[in-house]
Structure 1
């Protein structure tokens, strides 16, 4: 059994850069915007409470409900810490009372998605407990942790990412899969470590750290040293065989957790910092590119790299596809750069965030699609600013179809599903750099999202942000509102316009579902006696 390391947490570098004295007029605008975000949350929460209470999601157009994450009330648990942060204490009290009665022994109709259950339910309960101190929430977190722990009951202790409770009850063989997404096997470090620290039971830390040890050991042995492939083999514990490498979908949260785990444990597990620094060196070298844009904007986007062999040479091929989901990377690099005192990381993170803001502002309704492709500049990022002047001819030769905004070459997926990653990075970059233009840019993002996704009941995903009626700019909506709209997106918008000491990044880290977990920090007792 791996034991959490002994000793006092280290003093880590400060992350937040507090804003200068705020003029009264600016403060008034900021608070009005904060309250506007809160009203949107309240409208959605009240509709969920009325039409889909204790179900996973409300259907924001029809008023129906659906269960897609175990049927245990994903929106309820995902929203607990948002209710506390927004000072909706009566609603929080009612929600905790309801959540404390969730029966996690009731097996869902489908297999348990271990990744989603971990980040939404376990993360949600842990954060709400860390904020409020309500012991009922820690008991529910422990219940979820016990359920998830069974997914690790395999011959090699690697988890089944889709766990079948019925099969397990019938004593059918329990084995990890041969083809597993990197994100789904790697994203346990924050939640499992925090649960072990709070319960003083090392078993969850042990389960997560076994995975960390294997990934750490194999980091330099992959076909793209420093990074891990999107697909890994959990049954044989070979995490270095496949060819595709990205910090985007299917791999994202593993990379995100490297600097965050370093912060969570106060630097007591140095392999997290080591893995983060090696991974980002590789990412910045080959995954990050500057797109050729009509206004010659100096921004960055992160794509996917495929590795192949040509004779004795290794060939790295970049697929210049951006994703809304990968917009988290700007915040990751800003946070990580601050923690390891690497200004290059902060600067790259800032340009990645700017790339997401640019994409928002150059879409027809001011909202980024799920995926898009761009034409990379001839030179990748380097210490010297690369020359990249927009070429109309090169762009026209690269586009897949006509009638596409300049700068984009294709839009493979034009949905917007109420994702939080762009505002997540804007929030983190604002807290870490204090850049004065970011509140206004965040507000424009919020206005565009609220205007185009609002329904009578709540807010709905969009099926195609490029197809809309120019008379009223109303893209077609789908009857879907994932729990992360209340658990992440609106939380980050609210914090964007709140005082900077509310969930300070020097005291908290957010899991990949935006649930804040309290960091270990040095004990201040006696230092100033």
Structure 2
């Protein structure tokens, strides 16, 4: 019945053209108005996660046993440095402009992502069953363990992963459990500031709920010169007693507070958190060109003496890594409104390329880069040690991110070579897993590097840790473990989102298959004790760090998600992969 009048209308050519024109206009309107809304995976996820009641039971919130707001400072801050405000600068686009994927490409991607989701669900269920509200799961013995003050590190750390993966029931249950944590009590006398900041404050800030954990974090700065402590005496902090700053700490410790404290000020509108870290940033900014390697900072610094220049060991790996990671990320988080972070970023990029990166000599002459360490000799000369570690694998992603933010394609390409270097190290070993720490042989010429068997033999002969079964090109696997670390897939994820090149998704899939196979145990994923031998069942360590779900599995999942999910032009991720909204 409805077809007859329709036919009557379109039988007239003039009417037919009018209808076609209307259909085209309506289609264009729909695409322009709604394509970036309902078609976006991030929008669909948000609608789903916010649909229906969060729980059939009201949320039970445990009131903190300490009213941090009533604790008085021994050393009040004085004049407050305000959080940069106003409209953000128009920074360059970070993410590649992706074309629509084909049906076959979408199916492959979705199948891979489903494999990551299933692994996450298995590990989360084991944590829930055997280690609920504990800091970490012991996957072999099916027990829990506390290491970070008994504040349920895995529970808190995993919140945004559960959200991103659309695990609604698990997320709602986890939120209810987090609400019962009393951050006024600690199972340890001293609280590790670095670890608790990136996990707890990072997770709370990503959820835009900084009020839940914000109070204890400001007390780390209750010191004579308002420099942060590394380990906070919890009882002294609760009583407002002035804290004693350690003589020497790793540079990453004070340097990895900036994003979390700045984001807390953005959320609350209270500049005191940003003010607290501004003095630390000023110290690094003023000292950047006064070190033995201008642009870089020594591995160890003294907050007590306000000295960030005197050390003789330089690295981008453990002990220093996230100090550098946060320079470009703070530039993005603040919308480019604080020039110091751009200066710090440019300085370290230039110096790292000059002093820390080397091309390793390899049998297939692969054109990759590895990040090493530099020691300053008594005569003032620098010596590059071709030792690297899994923690250093973040630098490929950071370089590519900084390159995009600063319009430097050279730095994006350097980041790609660094990320390929870590992917190469994964594939070089028979398990498909990269060891925690290893050594290689440096190419004298980065542009022209041919394999020299004799030179490799000479290099390995100087290393007592060399073993005959190691892959050619490697002279040691000093620490042969894989402990579920995220840094390699982190960089692969960034290079995928920044370049749009399919090779990065293939790298991610190869890595995930190796990681999933190597870490598999009855209950959950476990660290591998030796990745250099693939005979029989791999030996495992009875431990699953909170960063496994918080970071490693999240990055794998995002590598196989549509690029609008945690869009890097909208979010910046902290060193524990918690996404913070960028200032606009």
- Calculate the TM-score normalised by the size of structure 2: 0.84
CA contact (8 A) 1:467 1:476 kept: no
Aligned counterpart, 2:87:
8
CA contact (8 A) 1:367 1:448 kept: yes
The yes-or-no answer on 1:202 pairing with 2:268 is no
Post-superposition offset of 1:167: 4.2
Aligned counterpart, 2:371:
302
Post-superposition offset of 1:169: 5.4
Equivalent of 1:490, from 553, 559, 566?
Answer: 553
CA contact (8 A) 1:84 1:128 kept: no
Aligned counterpart, 1:513:
576
CA distance in 2, matches of 1:455, 1:107: 31
Runs of 4+ in 1 over 2 A off after TM superposition: 18-21, 107-110, 141-145, 166-173
Aligned counterpart, 2:392:
326
CA distance in 2, matches of 1:165, 1:442: 41
How many residue pairs are counted as aligned between the two chains? Answer: 500
Name which one, 1 or 2, has greater alpha-carbon Rg: 2
Aligned counterpart, 2:138:
59
SS at match of 1:347: helix
CA distance in 2, matches of 1:173, 1:105: 18
SS at match of 1:163: strand
The yes-or-no answer on 1:436 pairing with 2:502 is yes
Aligned counterpart, 1:89:
168
Aligned counterpart, 1:134:
none
CA distance in 2, matches of 1:169, 1:431: 44
CA distance in 2, matches of 1:33, 1:167: 49
CA distance in 2, matches of 1:334, 1:438: 13
CA distance in 2, matches of 1:169, 1:196: 22
CA distance in 2, matches of 1:487, 1:18: 27
The yes-or-no answer on 1:233 pairing with 2:233 is no
Q: How does 1:373-384 map to 2 (within 5 A)?
A: 373-379=439-445, 381=446
1:461-514 per-residue CA deviation (whole Å, 9 max, x = no partner) reads 01111244x2x4x21001000000000000000000000000000000110000
The yes-or-no answer on 1:116 pairing with 2:195 is yes
Report which stretch shifted further, 15-24 or 58-67: 15-24
Structure with the bigger RCO (C-alpha within 8 Å, sep 6+) is 1
CA contact (8 A) 2:153 2:200 kept: yes
Structural RMSD (CA): 1.2
SS at match of 2:376: strand
CA distance in 2, matches of 1:243, 1:211: 20
CA distance in 1, matches of 2:489, 2:583: 26
CA contact (8 A) 1:357 1:422 kept: yes
Aligned counterpart, 1:527:
none
1:159-215 per-residue CA deviation (whole Å, 9 max, x = no partner) reads 111011134457765221110110001111111000011101111100111100111
CA distance in 2, matches of 1:315, 1:158: 32
CA contact (8 A) 2:434 2:482 kept: yes
CA distance in 2, matches of 1:51, 1:5: 45
1:218-251 per-residue CA deviation (whole Å, 9 max, x = no partner) reads 1111111111111001101011111011111100
- Calculate the TM-score normalised by the size of structure 1: 0.93
CA contact (8 A) 1:416 1:461 kept: yes
Equivalent of 2:451, from 390, 403, 410?
Answer: 390
Q: CA, structure 1 residues 402+477, in 2 after alignment: closer, same or farther (shift >3 Å)?
A: closer
SS at match of 2:97: coil
Q: How does 1:401-420 map to 2 (within 5 A)?
A: 401-403=466-468, 404-420=470-486
1:28-62 per-residue CA deviation (whole Å, 9 max, x = no partner) reads 01101101100100001111111111110111111
The yes-or-no answer on 1:370 pairing with 2:449 is no
CA contact (8 A) 2:435 2:481 kept: yes
